[in-house]
A = this chain, B = another copy of it.
Amino acid sequence: MKIGLDIMGGDYAPKANVLGAIAAHPLLSPDEQIVLIGDTKQIKPLLSENGFDPDLFEYVHTEEVIGMGEHPTKAIVQKPNSSISIGFNLLKEGKLDSFASAGNSGAMLVGAVFSVKTIPGIIRPCLSTFLPKLSGGVGLMVDVGANADCKPDILLQFGVLGSLYAENVMGIGNPKVALMNIGEEDEKGNMLSLATFPLMKDTNLFNFIGNVEGRDLFNDKADVIVCDGFTGNVMLKLAESFYVLTLKRGLKDEFFDRFNYENYGGSPVLGVNAPVVIGHGISSPTAVKNMILQSRDMITTGLVGKIQAAFNN
């Protein structure tokens, strides 16, 4: 198994990525191999500084980098030797089993769709984020920004994708899937949610439990919350800002600590033909370590194959 990691992506690259890989290594079995993609002239000194045997990783050398502010599609097209472009090429060729980066999110999304392609039958891939539950568990919210405008059949598919990730990678049996809405009652909503509700109610593709509201992210009503990418992105950033506010106010709390994105690795891209993980731009070594473990779990659970099977009916 080859777990691809972009060493050049993210605000603290390459150091945070290299340190994350070092931290992940002892947690992997011998056949779970991390492949570092980036400038080996920058990587090797970081390894020796930390007394890490460089032979324990594999390397793909490249010096070109896609910046955080670059236009995603242009960057992917115009920088074929960037670490992100090369990572996706290797993933497409089967020389990697997964690819993760804390770099330009848009370029990662575009790269995934351009290279390994959307799974046949899926209209739009989506991005997901993790929700710490007050009771101790973890939930999932999809989409959080890949698709600003959605149609009902797209949201229905997000329900399938989220449910399969929750069941297979997060180990939640028969995940409770809910639709984000402005009321719990069946007839509440905007045009999108009103049109989506009956599709979800009638589906046997997942365990739909009805509408949830903005207040239900951190309780146990739902394991998977489905929304359009505009709503999800706004909620994700609001939730993140709350965590930052608790830190700014000097509030120390075990539950709010679980809002720290570092705990979850990155945001899995669901609906493409290979495991892809997009990390937060400010990914720390801990976040990168968890992205690697998350990539491994997406591979070992055969998530992509299960999604392909679900949509190949």
Contact = CB atoms under 8 A, between A and B. Distances in A.
A235 interface: yes
B149 A180 contact: no
Interface string A139-171: 000000100110000000000000000000000
Contacts of A231: 230-231, 234
A246 to B, nearest CB: 7
Contact of A235 (B145, B189, B191, B214): B214
Contact of A189 (B148, B191, B242, B246): B148
Interface residues of A, number: 40
A214 B190 contact: no
A236 B214 contact: yes
A32 interface: no
Contacts of A228: 190
> What is the predominant secondary structure among interface residues of chain A facing chain B?
helix
Interface in A191-250: 191, 193, 213-218, 227-231, 233-242, 244-246, 248-249
Contact of A215 (B217, B218, B237, B256): B237
A309 interface: no
A182 interface: yes
| Number of this chain's copies in the complex | 2
B245 A218 contact: yes
Given A149-B190, A190-B149, A233 B253 contact: no
A27 interface: no
A52 interface: no
B182 A229 contact: yes
A77 interface: no
Most buried by B among A145, A182, A233, A249: A182
Contacts of A230: 182, 189-190, 193, 231
A230 B213 CA distance: 10
A61 to B, nearest CB: 33
Nearest to A233: B182
